[in-house]
Structure 1
Amino acid sequence: MAQSEVRGEAPAVEDTMSLTSRITDAPARSGRHGGRRRAGGPKTDRRTRRRRVLRWSATVLAVVILGTAGAGYLYYQHLNGNIQKGKRAGGDDSKAHRTAPNAAGQTPLNILLIGSDSRNSKENVKLGGSRDHVGDPPLADVQMLIHLSADRKSAAMVSIPRDTRVHIPECKDEKGKDFPPTDDIINVTLARGGAGCTLLTWEELTGVYIDHWMTIDFAGVVRMADAIGGVEVCVNQNVWDHSTPSQRGGSGLKLTRGSHKVKGEQALQWLRTRHAWGSDLMRARAQHMYLNSMIRTLKKQNVFTDTGRLMDLAEAATKSLKVSEEIGTVKKLYDLGMEMKSVPTDRITSVTMPNVPDPDDPDNHVVPDKAKADKVWQMLQDDVPFDKNGGKSGGKKDAGKDKPAKTPSVDAARLGVLVQNATRTSTEAAVSQRASAIGQVLVQKGYARAQADTSGSLAEDKTIVRYPSADLEGDAQAVAKALGIPMSQVQKSTDVSGVTVVVGADWRTGTAYPKQSAPKAGDLPEGTDAANASDKPTCMDVYKPYQWH
């Protein structure tokens, strides 16, 4: 199969048939325009035989071409048939907004990768351990956001530990079942409306618009690891992740000290190991090591010129992934892969969300380390590279986010402005009377009809001014200017009926909106455990109870 066939560019059957007609027409025309046939003449017999041979050869060639193209087309359809798809979002979209285009008109791409612990197939039960959970809704034990910069010159991979307690918004599953909002650990989102709910939870937590999601289960990891041919990992001590008297379970990973190429079930064991590394946070580090190593491996291999390897990878990938429906074809996945492939290895950085022990359950759960995590989210929102190896990459200054001011439609004194309190976070209650306080600031600045919304508190990381229609954009901009809110935080929204100030968690105190310095490339906060894909990996340390001799 040619490379173009995997991309979904195999010749269509009708195109090949027109090619067939062009080939078969040639000998027919030579016969019609030749001289009269002489019965029994040797020269005429030779010419006739040549014409028959030409017609026969052309017909065979046409059949071969048609058959090959048809096989390619059928194989392409077969790959498309492998792909499982689902809705992008499991309910009403959150208030996350897309990053505005950079000076070249390019926008970033954000993809949420979810590892499911589903045991709802014989293959997954065999690989996943406990049979007690057969039939249970799957949990999202691995969650990682892949961010491709607008110019496709840098990328980031951000993990959130599965035991992070967050606010989960209202979600809906594929059958329309409703799940009310709740506070819980983030890995239950997959069981509360599927991958679309996990996506909405990430958007609410980070403020980052997520374009697509992909999920992969135990069996999928094994298939992909085998298709790649193995990925190199490293441990500082002999490791055996098994049940102990004090801790039941374990992935079964057993390796000697040093570097190893893991594939198949052993690759799955590496990615699932938690106890042997000492914590779920260290599991994220091991997963980053695996992914960075996999990236280096794929870049070294001539996958796109090796038809056999390409077919193996295409088969494994399409059987292993479930994706949001807008990228649910081979061609779209191939194009997505090519965009990722274009990013240099030294421009790919993996991090873990900065976190602290959960005050309500410090032994088992964590919560975002708010100030540090917010800086990571801001870098993603503004498309600021996590590395320092390439300078600017469509950062805030280049994004064209400060809109030109438009003329207000009415005088400030006549404009109705609603102020909402959205200072609640996953770890802090809403600040009492916050909407009233900011409403009074607006009244003092001439907005006599500003009033607080008393219907309840919301949760927004960032303060936003919303407006419902184009005729009120200038008015919303004027309100933002009066409060010192950046124009980039003025948004059109169908969720409001008039100009609405949503006071977020970034403005919990004071009457002047706090000025925020723009993050710089590579300026990651402490606690992210950052690793660059081009770095020589640091081997994993093994927690002592899981070392063996």
Structure 2
Amino acid sequence: MGRSGVRGERSRPSGRDGSTARAGDLGWDESLYEGPGSGGDTPPGPDGRRPAQGHRHKGPRAKRRGFRILRWAVGTLAVLVLATAGAGYLWYRHLNSNIKTDKLNIGEHKAPAPTPNAAGQTPLNILLIGSDSRNSKENLKLGGSKESVGAAPLADVQMLLHLSADRTNMSVVSMPRDTLAQLPKCTDPKTGKVYEATTTRQMVNTSLGRGGPGCTVATWEEITGIHIDHFMMVDFSGVVSMADAVGGVPVCVDANVYSRNSLGEGSGLKLRKGTTSVKGEQALAWLRTRHGFEDGSDIARAKAQHMYMSSMVRELRKNATFTHPNKLRTLAEKATDALHVDDDLHTVKKLYDLSNELKKPEPDRITMTTMPFVYVGARVAPKANDADALWRLIREDVSLDGKDKDKKKAKDEVSDDPAAPDDKIAVQVSNGTRTATTAAVPGRASQVAQALVAEGFTKSVPDQTQSLAEEKTVLRYPSSDLEGDAQAVAKSLGIPLSSVKKSTDVSGVTLIVGADWKTGNAYPKSGADEDAGKALDKEQTQNGADDSKCMKVEPGYTWS
């Protein structure tokens, strides 16, 4: 092939008919690099005149100019991409710097982490804390008096958000701020100050002033035995800024309401009867209102907070906030600036990943309720049996809407390994009734070992050397040839076969009596078999998809 007659110019590819293909034929429009039609860069022809517009001579200078402009455009685009990426990175770093963090649990004991389900999934438990701190001009302006400045903050809003292991449902349980309980020993991670465990019952909202949110987490784990994975805390100004960024949230009252009495008590909330979209300071007033709702108690306030949260979830699902870049940017800015979280949620990515998990349940699978309680004077305390039943449902990852009971339970798989005669099966029984908040039940291993002997398992012996912490009773065996033996032991005591597990941590059939079996010789029915509805106060329970509810206005707080 001969060389091109133009220096530096290579042969053009040929078209289908053998003719030289033009740039335009290949999809390249050279006119993009030409001037506005003056022909100023086109060399004159033999007659000294430049070609007319539209018939310009595409000589080497025009060609080189096209390549120069192309290189400039590509270079500029690269700079813009890098600049944008740089700005995005800087903004990401800025958002990360907004986030305030603290240690998750600063108590002495930790509740055991839940056992993964058959698919290897575990639930998520997040403690939501609303602080009444007035140690800033913004917070003081939004509530309280100057006398409150410098005082220890109070955890006036406490909600446990439980996301099921399979991510199909969510439970939100409030604990009233004036719940009385003994508070655990906590050590302030910043100052090293030690707050000893209280010997008398105190209001749980004071836990926040005992070293920070990590002590509120420790208090919840002490009361409930529920392992908490994260906490999120927000103060007055944070609520206002977040409410503004999210946009209006519809709430409803059954009469005109004004939360203010002759003594000046109340949030100042003023709404007309019916549904109103609240945001900013009005949203904060709704969340703080006690005087004016129902009986004027903290219980009524929790119900109003549940109503707001349910409505906000529905709004976020249908709102365009997350498809509008500027609104999304504003929300990200406000959220990271408002939130105070545990150390493991220290980046925007961590928060984003968590938010993706939290949005998986549909609103109709979200149940919000308040801890069952009894009045103790003007305060409240957990209602012994009912509160315990609720905490057990959460620990065992049972949905509070009762829909889990509709699922068909997988049948326990019976082993093909034949069991030895009962009196030939050696069983070691260990005491695993110790929890993060309670000591082991004395003599429990001996009691259950004696029950096994009575059932014919005469080689059953208690292990007196150690006290373990096992939330649920479990039977472990080291090899497949002992599976049948382990299942025989389980059947004799009424332990489900799903609790019989192979493990190299044991050398023989080993029964660990868990915290779920503290008394009696027969294994109790699992809390999962309970009707979830029995543990709930229907008056204090709301479904996340129900938009028909209105708060009842307390007599004396209406206006016309």
- TM-score range, shorter-chain basis? 0.7 to 0.9
The SS at the match of 1:544 is coil
Is 1:539 aligned to residue 546 of structure 2? no
What does 1:53-452 correspond to in 2, within 5 Å?
53-103=69-119, 105-175=120-190, 176-182=192-198, 183-245=201-263, 249-277=265-293, 278-357=296-375, 362-387=376-401, 397=409, 417=430, 450=462
CA distance in 1, matches of 2:411, 2:268: 48
Matched-pair contact (CA < 8 Å) for 2:431–2:466? no
Q: Which runs of 5+ in 1 are unaligned?
A: 1-30
- Aligned pair in 2 of structure 1 residues 419, 220: CA closer, same or farther (>3 Å)? closer
CA distance in 1, matches of 2:452, 2:434: 15
CA distance in 1, matches of 2:412, 2:205: 36
Partner residue, 1:14: none
Any idea what the Cα deviations from partners look like across 1:328-350, whole Å, max 9, x if unmatched?
Answer: 21112122222222322211111
Matched-pair contact (CA < 8 Å) for 1:419–1:453? no
CA distance in 2, matches of 1:404, 1:363: 60
CA distance in 1, matches of 2:411, 2:93: 39
Return the TM-score normalized by structure 2. Answer: 0.74
Q: What amino acid does structure 2 have at the position aligned with 1:385?
A: S
Partner residue, 1:20: none
Return the TM-score normalized by structure 1. Answer: 0.76
- Structure 1 residue 392: Cα displacement: 5.6
Matched-pair contact (CA < 8 Å) for 2:427–2:511? no
- Structure 1 residue 413: Cα displacement: 8.5
- Aligned pair in 2 of structure 1 residues 163, 452: CA closer, same or farther (>3 Å)? farther
- Structure 1 residue 236: Cα displacement: 1.4
- Aligned pair in 2 of structure 1 residues 117, 482: CA closer, same or farther (>3 Å)? farther
- Aligned pair in 2 of structure 1 residues 50, 128: CA closer, same or farther (>3 Å)? same
Matched-pair contact (CA < 8 Å) for 1:96–1:204? no
Matched-pair contact (CA < 8 Å) for 1:419–1:439? no
Q: Which runs of 5+ in 2 are unaligned?
A: 1-5, 12-41, 45-58
Q: What amino acid does structure 2 have at the position aligned with 1:363?
A: G
Q: Which moved more, 1:533-542 or 1:266-275?
A: 533-542
- Aligned pair in 2 of structure 1 residues 90, 297: CA closer, same or farther (>3 Å)? same
Partner residue, 1:23: none
- Structure 1 residue 110: Cα displacement: 1.7
- Structure 1 residue 401: Cα displacement: 13
Matched-pair contact (CA < 8 Å) for 1:421–1:453? no
- Structure 1 residue 44: Cα displacement: 2.1
- Aligned pair in 2 of structure 1 residues 404, 524: CA closer, same or farther (>3 Å)? farther
CA distance in 2, matches of 1:403, 1:131: 70
Aligned residues: 491
- Aligned pair in 2 of structure 1 residues 400, 94: CA closer, same or farther (>3 Å)? farther
The SS at the match of 2:292 is helix
CA distance in 1, matches of 2:97, 2:437: 44
- Aligned pair in 2 of structure 1 residues 479, 64: CA closer, same or farther (>3 Å)? same
CA distance in 2, matches of 1:384, 1:403: 27
- Structure 1 residue 290: Cα displacement: 0.3
- Aligned pair in 2 of structure 1 residues 441, 388: CA closer, same or farther (>3 Å)? closer
Any idea what the Cα deviations from partners look like across 1:364-390, whole Å, max 9, x if unmatched?
Answer: 222222322233223322322223568
CA distance in 2, matches of 1:503, 1:118: 41
- Aligned pair in 2 of structure 1 residues 516, 152: CA closer, same or farther (>3 Å)? closer
CA distance in 2, matches of 1:401, 1:85: 46
CA distance in 1, matches of 2:385, 2:168: 27
CA distance in 1, matches of 2:105, 2:182: 16
Q: What amino acid does structure 1 have at the position aligned with 2:545?
A: S
The SS at the match of 2:529 is coil
- Structure 1 residue 484: Cα displacement: 5.5
User: By percentage of residues, which structure has more helix?
Assistant: 1
Any idea what the Cα deviations from partners look like across 1:107-141, whole Å, max 9, x if unmatched?
Answer: 22221111111111111111121222211221111
Q: Which moved more, 1:144-153 or 1:371-380?
A: 371-380
CA distance in 2, matches of 1:423, 1:48: 77
- Aligned pair in 2 of structure 1 residues 485, 391: CA closer, same or farther (>3 Å)? closer
Q: Which moved more, 1:312-321 or 1:383-392?
A: 383-392
RMSD of equivalent CA atoms: 4.3
- Aligned pair in 2 of structure 1 residues 476, 206: CA closer, same or farther (>3 Å)? farther
Q: Which moved more, 1:330-339 or 1:90-99?
A: 90-99
Q: Which moved more, 1:51-60 or 1:345-354?
A: 51-60
The SS at the match of 2:377 is coil
- Structure 1 residue 470: Cα displacement: 8.9
- Structure 1 residue 412: Cα displacement: 9.1
Matched-pair contact (CA < 8 Å) for 1:108–1:148? yes
- Aligned pair in 2 of structure 1 residues 548, 32: CA closer, same or farther (>3 Å)? farther
Matched-pair contact (CA < 8 Å) for 2:252–2:274? yes
- Structure 1 residue 174: Cα displacement: 1.9
- Structure 1 residue 51: Cα displacement: 2.3
Q: What amino acid does structure 2 have at the position aligned with 1:181?
A: A
- Aligned pair in 2 of structure 1 residues 404, 92: CA closer, same or farther (>3 Å)? farther
- Structure 1 residue 93: Cα displacement: 4.2
Of structures 1 and 2, the larger Rg is shown by 2
The SS at the match of 2:369 is strand
CA distance in 2, matches of 1:333, 1:348: 20
CA distance in 2, matches of 1:243, 1:100: 51
Matched-pair contact (CA < 8 Å) for 2:225–2:435? no
CA distance in 1, matches of 2:445, 2:136: 51
Matched-pair contact (CA < 8 Å) for 2:169–2:399? yes
Q: Which moved more, 1:43-52 or 1:415-424?
A: 415-424
Matched-pair contact (CA < 8 Å) for 1:423–1:461? no
Identity in percent: 48
Q: What amino acid does structure 1 have at the position aligned with 2:83?
A: G
- Structure 1 residue 298: Cα displacement: 0.7
Any idea what the Cα deviations from partners look like across 1:212-251, whole Å, max 9, x if unmatched?
Answer: 1111110110001101111111111222222444xx6321
